[in-house]
Structure 1
Amino acid sequence: MSTARTVLVVGGGAAGTAVTVLLRRAGMSVDLIEAKDDWNATAGSGITLQGNALRVLRELGVWEQVEASGFAFDTVGITAPDGTVLHVQDDLRTGGDDLPATVGMQRPQLQRILSDAVRASGARVRLGTRATSLDQDGDGVTVRFTDGTERRYDLVIAADGLNSATRAAIGITAEPEPTGMAIWRVAAPRPAGLTRTDLAYGGPAHIAGYCPTGDTTIYAYVVEANRDRASVPADTYAEEMRRLASAYGGHWPEITRHITDPAEVNYTWFDRLLVEGSWHRGRVVLVGDAAHCCPPTLAQGAALSLEDALVLARLLTEADTWDDALFQAYHDRRIRRVRPVVEASVQIGRWQLDGVRDADVPGLMARTVTMLRELP
């Protein structure tokens, strides 16, 4: 394969940065555009990275920075709403026995690590830039940008997220659908003795949980049925999350007293997306949330996106010809792994919304997570 091939990556999140680093390592010419002027201004308080995500981050060469920046742990606790610990179980190390089961970290810190890796790779980065048109033929894609420039590429990789403009531009009509649940998230100081994720089911929310993200930080969240967004003004976010969180015991009273600034609280609906059929049209191919998205009930969103990047980059690097068969092979390989995770993540939430008390949540989670230990 000629190393002169040129690739445009649209979107600078986890999938876009990962595929950029991998393709640059293979000697390809890669441009990355990101609509934000500052791609490190990432919203969100924290992120839970399971072992299969850590496996890809190690492949990218950033595992040491992630390990130093986050908080690794290998167990998860189940508590009653009053904080009583009911059960602690070992998490499966889906990335292999030489990696932790889970690392929690501040989401902006992960973004900084990945964006630094892109810069170091030698990719050309253009922030505050969007593609305005994609004109393709059998050999490549001519892309026009918001700054008036134009360039031709052998391939365009759409990594521009759940509401991907690129997906719509190439005629894929799939759209995200709300699952009926919503999550409140906030960053907070880490209480003494908090060294793993604990999940409380029941109380005024469906789930109340937290995840350590460093030596001194956590992110905490409560999950409830979604509300009309207009009924939740942004200036009431802290008040609303504090009201829900105040019903929980254990570490929650200390966490709750730090929920004071509405600007620091994030409120998001859970969405589901799975593009059916192929994930490409001609020389434009989807990765990450542009192709699939699921509720965070299994904490697999970032992991699946990173795996997409790894699989696509390997296929592109190893192939002499970039054609429909190659891109379909990428889809076929990923859909077998992505579909069960999306469906399980949605099902767990549906059982909670419907109040199904005898649902086999542990069994479904175990079956799904065990599958993820296999290489993508």
Structure 2
Amino acid sequence: MNSAVEKILVIGGGFSGMSAAIELRKRGIEVDLVEIDPEWRSYGAGISLGGATLRAFRTLGILEEFLEKGAGADGAHVHLPNGALLATLPTPRIAGPDVPGGGAIMRPVLAAILAEATRAAGVNVTLGATFETMTPAGSGVEVKLTNGQQDTYDLVIGADGLFSKVRETVMPDAPRPSYTGQAVWRAVLDRPAGLDSTMIYVGPKVKVGINPVSKTEVYVFVTEDRPQKRRLDESEYLDTFVGLLAPFTADEVVRVRAEVSNTSQVIYRPLEELLVPLPWHQGRIVLIGDAVHATTPHLASGACIGIEDAIVLAEELEKAETVHAALAAFEARRWERCRMVVKNSLRLGEIEIEDGDKQEHAGIMRDSMIALAQPI
């Protein structure tokens, strides 16, 4: 193990941050993780996951628990609004012949799985705080937390998401998140009998998906064009969501629309993207996940590339002779893959907004899936 890295601070207890903490502890590094939310919550409904994400889960050691508490599936079926089948998208079994090619899970459930694994790994977790100051100190970084704690670390990992305070502090000139012109709605319902894979229904300006997230639940996602980013009052959520489903006459969508109610956990989010140019580190502070590459959900790979960041960073820290060499190698391995996911997802959204070339859309999906199947 690289003796120059003995103690690391992870700022942010989301999927990327927890994954980094788990992988670093496997390598004998002391890890402190600080999370600003005192309850360590994860907001949102379901999250769709591709085979590359399940491969990363296997590396983390949480795959079996995901398969028990989430839902694995092979293939995704694309339909017209009336239910006519357009295509079945293959989902290769990237994580192994015994593991489905994709799946989904409730975000809070996945967060709880990772939180349990983080604590079991021996990570020192501090909730309800973040950093107040970070100052270079010799061959480390002196960090003062908002709760008054202070310590010096060999490396600080900023994994604090799309609106990263770490990014704003160490990279004040970095790009800001950009609205893409689309928004996504999500809701959770009882799982209909016989629904065992992802169903997608493509309308002129709205796309509906139905995806199992557990043995008893599905989540429904609706992507719509919204030229202007604006906040909606939660009192509008239910009626707006049901209205977006109205033009779809496919049996499954009609059934879903009839079952949506005040208990369906309807969630609305404008879609934003971010790609920060290299380098992703300043001195001994490095950014991972949404803090440097936030993507729309069109390739179901946002969580994937953030978790992969964590795995690759730990690998490079283990084998490099210096921290600088490890960070350079990490960035070299991650840049093209993350750039591809962000930009291809953005282009898929643009094609949907423009009602553009369906062959281009299909080609981007195919090429992206091939690229994601490659080793990291």
Q: TM-score range by the shorter chain?
A: over 0.9
Question: 5 Å matches for 1:171-250?
Answer: 171-172=171-172, 173-203=174-204, 205-226=205-226, 228=228, 230=230, 232-248=232-248, 249-250=250-251
Q: How does 1:100-139 map to 2 (within 5 A)?
A: 100-139=100-139
8 A contact 1:71–1:104 mirrored in 2: yes
Q: Once the two structures are superposed, what CA deviation does each residue of 1:192-248 show, in whole Å capped at 9, x if it has no partner?
A: 221111111115x42111110111101101111126555622111011001111322
What runs of 5+ residues in structure 1 fail to find an aligned partner? none
CA distance in 1, matches of 2:136, 2:33: 18
Distance, in Å, in 2 between the alignment partners of 1:90 and 1:374 is: 16
Q: In the alignment, what sits opposite 2:342? A: 342
Q: Displacement of 1:253 after TM fit?
A: 2.1
Q: CA deviation at 1:116?
A: 0.1
**Any conservation in 1 of the 2:45–2:219 contact (CA below 8 Å)?**
yes
The alpha-carbon distance between structure 1 residues 231 and 8, as it changes in their structure 2 partners (threshold 3 A), is closer
How many angstroms apart in 2 are the aligned matches of 1:284 and 1:362? 39
Q: How do 1:74-153 residues align onto structure 2 when only pairs under 5 Å count?
A: 74-153=74-153
Offset, 1:99? 2.5
Bigger shift: residues 22-31 or 87-96? 87-96
Q: Which amino acid is 1:83 matched to?
A: G
Equivalent-residue separation in structure 2 for 1:161 and 1:275 (angstroms): 13
Letter in 2 for 1:109: V
CA contact (8 A) 2:181 2:228 kept: no
Tell me the residue number matched to 2:373. Answer: 373
Runs of 4+ in 1 over 3 A off after TM superposition: 94-98, 227-231
Alpha carbons 1:137, 1:282 under 8 Å: kept: no
> What is the deviation of 1:93?
2.8
Structure 1 residue 264, shift from structure 2 partner: 1.7
Normalising by structure 2, we get a TM-score of 0.95
1:308 aligned counterpart, secondary structure: helix
> Which residue of structure 2 lines up, in the alignment, with residue 290 of structure 1?
291
Identity %: 34
- Tell me the residue number matched to 2:315: 314
Determine whether 1:67 maps to 2:67.
yes
Letter in 2 for 1:334: R
- Aligned pair in 2 of structure 1 residues 118, 281: CA closer, same or farther (>3 Å)? same
Aligned-partner residue type, residue 142 of structure 1 = E
Superposed displacement of residue 88, structure 1: 2.4
The equivalent of 1:158 in structure 2 is 158
**Deviation (angstroms), 1:49:** 1.4
Aligned pair count reads: 373
Q: Which amino acid aligns with 2:319?
A: E
Q: Is the 8 A contact 1:194 1:251 kept in 2?
A: no
Aligned twin of 1:5: 6
**Structure 1 CA distance, aligned partners of 2:36 and 2:258?**
36
Shift of 1:348: 0.7
Q: Distance in 1 between matches of 2:268 and 2:45?
A: 11
Alignment partner of 1:326 is 2:326: yes
RMSD (Å) for aligned C-alpha atoms: 1.7
Q: Is the 1:95–1:373 Cα contact (8 Å) retained in structure 2?
A: no
Alignment correspondent of 2:39? 38
TM-score computed with the length of structure 1 as normaliser: 0.95
**Match in the other structure for 1:255:** 256
For the 8 Å contact 1:46–1:106, the answer to whether it is kept is: yes
More displaced stretch, 106-115 vs 93-102: 93-102
Return 81-90 or 61-70, whichever deviates more: 81-90
Q: Is 1:79–1:87's contact at 8 Å kept on the other side of the alignment?
A: yes
Which amino acid in the other structure matches residue 70 of structure 2? G
Amino acid corresponding to residue 160 of structure 1 in structure 2: D
1:132-182 per-residue CA deviation (whole Å, 9 max, x = no partner) reads 111114511111111112111110000000110001110242211111110
Per-residue CA distance 1:72-124 (angstroms, 9 max, x = gap): 11111011112233332322333343432102111111100000000101110
